[in-house]
Every structure is written in structure tokens, then in C-alpha cells.
Structure 1
Amino acid sequence: MTSGAAEHDHAEHDHGHEHSGQGHAGQRHGGHDHNHGANANARQLTLALLLTGGFLIVEVTYAFISGSLALLSDAGHMLTDAAALALSLLALRVGARPADARRTFGYRRAEVLAAALNAGALFAVGIYVLVEAARRFAQPVEVQATPMLIVAVLGLTVNLISARILAGGQGESLNMRSAYLEVMGDLLGSVAVIVGALLIRFTGWTWVDPLLGAGIGLWVLPRTWALLRASVNILLEGVPRGLDLNALRAELRALPGVEDVHDLHVWSVTGGVNNLTAHLVAPTAGDTLLREVEEVAARFGIAHSTVQIEGPDAHATGGAALHP
């Protein structure tokens, strides 16, 4: 392509090939063989959802029977867990759909939407628990320690199994990480409820219950906030966390034959899938330059690059690459 508009219909390309040439917009797509990982994640989410949903009814019932805020807090987390796991599973299924004429990057951003919704819900639960804990410090509520202890032990068992199931996939996507964080929050909550139930049973210190409930909320909130920020950054097409855009620009500008770099954009379609578009002013460059650009991009964790090579008289607006 010359200095005309550079439009790339990704639905029409088999990812894993390259177009290159002087005065042409070169594309190279990293391998996107996600089927095996997606299927494994779907199985993990399904098992965790069945465990969590089955126990949810028991925990909610006994939270009201015992009158325990700590148990109610844990039940609230379990409720958001079930919803989060179901939403994550739905997003994974939708995200596995191939690219088409309307969604040229596919539907994988559905996973980020699910992560943002899950984080928002869990953040709201954490705020509610803190408010309720403050109220109960002012107006103590009688707590039945025995049913609180029994349900907490059962909940800990369920959470341990669910966490073990999800641990393998939580590093692969924000969607899986949000589900894993939900379960880990519940696991900590179950431990806190067990400790609280034992203290209340043997000492009668009912103030321990709201204290532990507040502790659970304070542990969850900063982690949830970090996940929410990461999700929103992707949705706003921000530069991926940890990627130094100025360093990337400097390395591209230092390549042989490159006189300038402009219209440099880096964003993520979903967690871990980074993309780059750039215009390079390189009047004497050949096909070798595109391969060198790919090498630089790979060092910065970028799987998919679209580069337009321009002569020194090309306008900055010429050949703008499209974004998802």
C-alpha cells in the first residue's frame, strides 16, 4: 500500500502470515491458537460454578439463621462468586467466537467486560460490609456460633477446591483472574468466619464478628480496585500496564533507515493480547525493516503489529490504521 488509507480487515486474514514491502503497510499476526486454553478454562469455570452455586443456598440460609455478619459477608461474596463465575463462563463462550465482518478482532473483549462487571460487583459488596460492620459496632447483634462454624468449615472446603481448580488459568486472562480473586476472597472469608465462630463460642466476644467482616472487606477492596483499573484501561484502549511507550518509540526510531515515528498506538484487545500500529518515515527501507519492527514489538510483548512505511513527504494523516 502507498500513502493511501491503510484498512485491515482482520476477519479476512489467517493470523500467522505477513505482508511486507517498501511503501506498504506491513502486517504480522502472532499465533492465536486459543481453543485448547479456552476449553480448559471453560471446564474449570463450570466445575467451580457448580460447587459455588450448590453451596450458596446453604450459606445464605445459615447466615440469616446465625445472625453473623462475617458469615453474611462471606455469603455475599459467595453470591457474587456464583454470578461472576457464570458471567465469566458466558464471556469465555462469547469470546471464543471467531472474527467476522462486524467484529474484526473477534469477541475476546467480552472477557474484559465480564472482569470489569465482576470487579465492580465485588467492590460494592466490600463497601456494604464495611458500612454494616460500622453499624454493628454501634449496635451489637447476637451471633449463633455453632451454625456459623459449621457452615464456615464447609465453605472453606468448597473454596479450597474451587481455588485449586481455577489456579491454573488465572494467569491467562483478566476474566479468569477476576473469578480466581472472587474465590480467594471467599476462602479468606471462610477462614475468618471460622476464627470468629471459635472466639465467639468460647469467649462471647460478639464484636469479633463485625471486626472480621470489616477485615474481609478491607482485604478484598484494594485487589478488586486493581482489577477494575486494569479492565477499564483495556476498555479505554490504554497502553498495557508495564509497557514503556517512550522506550518502544525510541527503539523503533533507532532502527536502520528510520527517520521518524508517528501515529504510534499500543493497546490490548484483551488481557495479554497487545497490538501496535505505527507510521515509520523510512524512505530507503526495504522488507528487512518490517522484520526488525516485529522483533522490537516482540520484546515489548506485542503479538500483532500493523506498520506503514512512508517517504519523507508523506502527510501524517495519510494511511491511518484502524483500531478495534
Structure 2
Amino acid sequence: MAQDQEHTHEHSHAPTVSGKNEHKVLLSFILIFTFMIVEVIGGLVSGSLALLADAGHMLTDAAALALAYVAFRLGRKAADSRRTFGYLRFEVIAGFINALTLFAIVVWIINEAWRRFQEPHDILAGPMLGVAIVGLLVNIIVFWILTRGDSEHVNIKGAALHVMGDLLGSVGAISAAVIIYYTGWSPIDPILSVVVSLLILRSAWRLLRESLHILLEGAPADADPAAIERHLIQSVAGVESVSHIHVWLITSGKAMATLHVRPKADYDASSVVSKVEQELKSHFDIEHVTVATDWRSSNEDCSLTQSQETD
């Protein structure tokens, strides 16, 4: 049995982090943090739960954006002997923390809304409306900034989801202010706060699921091992079999893979490996591939996937 490692290209294991993401996250943080202070004052003066809930959300927005900025800065650090893939996983951790904070926000809003139903508060609709309108404009600007360019990055997506929830909160606050101004019906304030919190909950679950999937070394949705095996056997001439396939995401949009390929007897092994790498890059967008040529007569189970029995 012989097994030769084939890796015909050289590149860093740590993908590049765009400086544009850093700049737009920093600018968004400054805008959100500045208006958060204004909204806290407005919520206290007007007595509006919708404004205070939105201010609380903006506080976590500011924290999330600050965390995202720090994660991007760490992600730019070069790989070293102890962290050969660099520090990009910090970006995914930031997205995971963002999702957890969104869940915490929802719990706080619902609890506060229940208290408001039991003990209604007087609300000044005029100041509430003015602050809510300005808040909507700020959130629209920040959301526009965050969704320019690399908007699918899990860290950018996490920050954008925070701001989207804030934007919806501003819409809810405006609606509540208008209704209170014309009808005096104050329960609309906590009711709309709960509606907004449910919208936030949906976004939080999606972000939590995506970031946790990456942290658990999950495969991209369109690049599971079975699909890779079928495609390589059908598309690459000279591939006899494919085994021991492991594919995972190091961070959002950065897939890695290792696999064993057994070339057919009358094909050049290095040529087959090169074609396999090219096919994985072009068809599955896997940018870092390690291929081992395998000449064994039978494939043994991989120690990472075979079932383990305990006494």
C-alpha cells in the first residue's frame, strides 16, 4: 500500500479579510451608538416602551458592531504556527454571540410589555414620534451601508440583522406614536413591541443556526460529501473512486476539503489530482483542497466517521 500526498498549489490557509468590511462596520457603529443615546433620552422623556426597547436593541447593535469590528481586525492577523488557518473563526464567534444577544433582547421586550399591560404608562406621543422618525432614518442609512458589497458574510449579516430589527422597531414606534396621538390608546405601544420582538426572533434563529453550523465544522449546503463523490466520479476522467471526504467552512464563504482519490491504472496520478482540485474549486467553490492519492485495493472506514462502540 502506498499513499502519496498531492497538493499542487501553494497559498495561505488563512483567507483574506476585506478592509471595506471593517470601514463600514466602524462607520455603522458610530452612527448607531450616537443615536442610541438620543433614543434613550427620548424613551425616558416620552415614557414609550417601544422607544426604550428600540434603544435597548440599539445598545446591542452597537456592541455587536464593535464586536464585529474587533473580529475583522483579528481576522486580518497572519496565520502562525499555532493557528495555521489564521483568526477568521473569530468572525463566526461574533455572529454566534450576536444571535444570542438577539434572543436576550426578545425576552426583555416581552417581559417589559407584560409589565406595561398590567400597569399602563402615560406616553407623550409627540416626542415619541419625532425620535422614532429620526431613528428610522438612521437605521435606513446604517442598513444601506452594511448591505453594500459583501453582505453575505456571516459577521456582516449578523450586524445587518440587528439593524433590520432596529429598523422594524422604529417603524413600530412610529405607528404606535401615531395611534396614541389620535386615539390615546396606550396599549398599542407594548403590543407593537411584542410584534417587533417576534420578527427579531425569526432572524435570530436563522443567524444562530448558520453560525453554529460553521462552528461545528458543517459542510456548505451544496457541497456535502455524497454530492462531491458523485460529481468527481462522473466529471473527472481517471477517477476510480473517492473516499474519506471531509468538507467544512472555516468562516462564511470559505470552504475547505480533504479527500482520498484513487486514480485509474492508466492515468497519471498528478494530472488526476490537479483536475480534482480544479473541479472542486469551479463547481463547489472550495478554495483549499488537500487530495491524497490512494492505491489501496479497498477503502477502510475513516476514523472520524465510523461508529464507535463502547464496552
Normalising by structure 1, we get a TM-score of 0.85
- Find 2:162's aligned residue among 173, 182, 194: 182
Match of 2:289 in 1: 305
Distance, in Å, in 1 between the alignment partners of 2:11 and 2:227 is 22
Report the alpha carbon displacement of residue 159 of structure 1 after superposing the two structures with TM: 1.0
For 1:168, what is the secondary structure of its paired residue? coil
| Contact 1:28/1:306, CA 8 A, preserved across alignment | no
In the alignment, does 2:117 pair up with 1:117?
Answer: no
Report the alpha carbon displacement of residue 172 of structure 1 after superposing the two structures with TM: 4.2
Assess, with a 3 A threshold, how the Cα gap between structure 1 residues 300 and 127 changes in structure 2: closer, same or farther: same
Match of 2:277 in 1: 294
Q: Which letter does structure 1 place at the counterpart of 2:277? A: E
Report the alpha carbon displacement of residue 29 of structure 1 after superposing the two structures with TM: 6.1
Distance, in Å, in 1 between the alignment partners of 2:243 and 2:15 is 32
Distance, in Å, in 2 between the alignment partners of 1:121 and 1:93 is 21
For 2:205, what is the secondary structure of its paired residue? helix
Q: Which letter does structure 2 place at the counterpart of 1:168? A: R
Match of 1:209 in 2: 189
For 2:128, what is the secondary structure of its paired residue? helix
Q: Which letter does structure 2 place at the counterpart of 1:177? A: K
Q: Which letter does structure 2 place at the counterpart of 1:288? A: S
Report the alpha carbon displacement of residue 31 of structure 1 after superposing the two structures with TM: 8.5
Q: Which letter does structure 2 place at the counterpart of 1:146? A: G
Distance, in Å, in 2 between the alignment partners of 1:317 and 1:203 is 71
Distance, in Å, in 2 between the alignment partners of 1:263 and 1:125 is 43
In the alignment, does 2:239 pair up with 1:273?
Answer: no
When structure 1 is superposed on structure 2, of 261-270 and 289-298 the one drifting more is 289-298
Greater RCO, 1 or 2 (C-alpha within 8 Å, sep 6+): 1
Match of 2:307 in 1: none
Report the alpha carbon displacement of residue 45 of structure 1 after superposing the two structures with TM: 1.0
Distance, in Å, in 1 between the alignment partners of 2:289 and 2:13 is 14
Q: Which letter does structure 1 place at the counterpart of 2:189? A: D
Q: Which letter does structure 2 place at the counterpart of 1:262? A: S
Gaps of 5+ in 1: 4-22
Gaps of 5+ in 2: 305-311
Distance, in Å, in 1 between the alignment partners of 2:113 and 2:149 is 34
Report the alpha carbon displacement of residue 315 of structure 1 after superposing the two structures with TM: 6.7
In the alignment, does 2:55 pair up with 1:75?
Answer: yes
% identical equivalent positions: 42
Match of 1:86 in 2: 66
Equivalences for residues 19-58 of structure 1 within 5 A: 23-28=4-9, 38-58=18-38
Distance, in Å, in 1 between the alignment partners of 2:64 and 2:264 is 52
For 2:141, what is the secondary structure of its paired residue? helix
Match of 1:256 in 2: 237
Match of 2:200 in 1: 220
When structure 1 is superposed on structure 2, of 237-246 and 198-207 the one drifting more is 237-246
| Contact 2:79/2:85, CA 8 A, preserved across alignment | yes
Q: Which letter does structure 2 place at the counterpart of 1:297? A: L
Normalising by structure 2, we get a TM-score of 0.88
Distance, in Å, in 2 between the alignment partners of 1:206 and 1:164 is 32
Assess, with a 3 A threshold, how the Cα gap between structure 1 residues 182 and 139 changes in structure 2: closer, same or farther: same
| Contact 1:95/1:108, CA 8 A, preserved across alignment | yes
Equivalences for residues 4-23 of structure 1 within 5 A: 23=4
Match of 1:17 in 2: none
For 2:247, what is the secondary structure of its paired residue? strand
When structure 1 is superposed on structure 2, of 25-34 and 278-287 the one drifting more is 25-34
For 1:24, what is the secondary structure of its paired residue? strand
| Contact 2:14/2:86, CA 8 A, preserved across alignment | no
For 2:258, what is the secondary structure of its paired residue? strand
Distance, in Å, in 2 between the alignment partners of 1:191 and 1:170 is 26
Report the alpha carbon displacement of residue 316 of structure 1 after superposing the two structures with TM: 3.9
| Contact 1:113/1:231, CA 8 A, preserved across alignment | yes
Match of 1:126 in 2: 106
Can you list the C-alpha shifts for 1:213-232, whole angstroms capped at 9, x where unaligned? 01111111111110111001
TM-align CA RMSD: 2.4
